[in-house]
Amino acid sequence: MSSLPLSTGILPDDAEVYDLDEVADRLGVSPGRVRTLIRDHNLLAASRDGVPVVPALFFGDGDDDGHRGLAKHFEGLVTILLDGGYTRDDALEWFFTVQDDLGMHPAQALHTHSAREVIRRAQAQAF
């Protein structure tokens, strides 16, 4: 099995994260499917103390079964950034860099009324 593309040293220490088993449970898929999502760059992951993790802010609200899909605009933002020349590390860093005028970073803004503004900014910055 090939190694996972994991960012190191980019994710803030205080960012809540889920390990791959928790991600699989939240998405309602197998851990193998989670690894495929990461390898295919549909999901960004980091290494924390040698353990692959995914930021909790990349997930949306849960359903009645406790499954939480990815945040509404997350996959589209990743695609915009990667297609626009960002590396995985650049994209993860962008998600956790505070936008001063918004007063939050894009990963937080995905859960607010500022989500569309974050998409617009990603489109402008990536190209």
Its pTM stands at 0.89
User: Is 50 exceeded by the pLDDT of residue 1?
Assistant: no
What would the mean pLDDT of 62-83 be, rounded to a whole number?
A: 81
**pLDDT one-digit tens code per residue, 36-54:** 999 999 999 999 999 999 9
Q: Residue 16, Cβ neighbours under 10 Å: how many? A: 9
Check residue 62 and give its pLDDT.
60
Mean pLDDT of all residues in the chain? 90
* Cα separation, 70 vs 23, whole angstroms: 10
User: Is 80 exceeded by the pLDDT of residue 24?
Assistant: yes
**Distances, alpha carbon 32 to alpha carbons 5, 20, 107, 126, in Å:** 14, 9, 25, 30
Enumerate the β-bridge partners of residue 19: 53
Task: Please report, for the chain, the start and end positions of each structural domain, with discontinuous segments joined by +.
Answer: 17-126
CA 72 to chain centre: 11
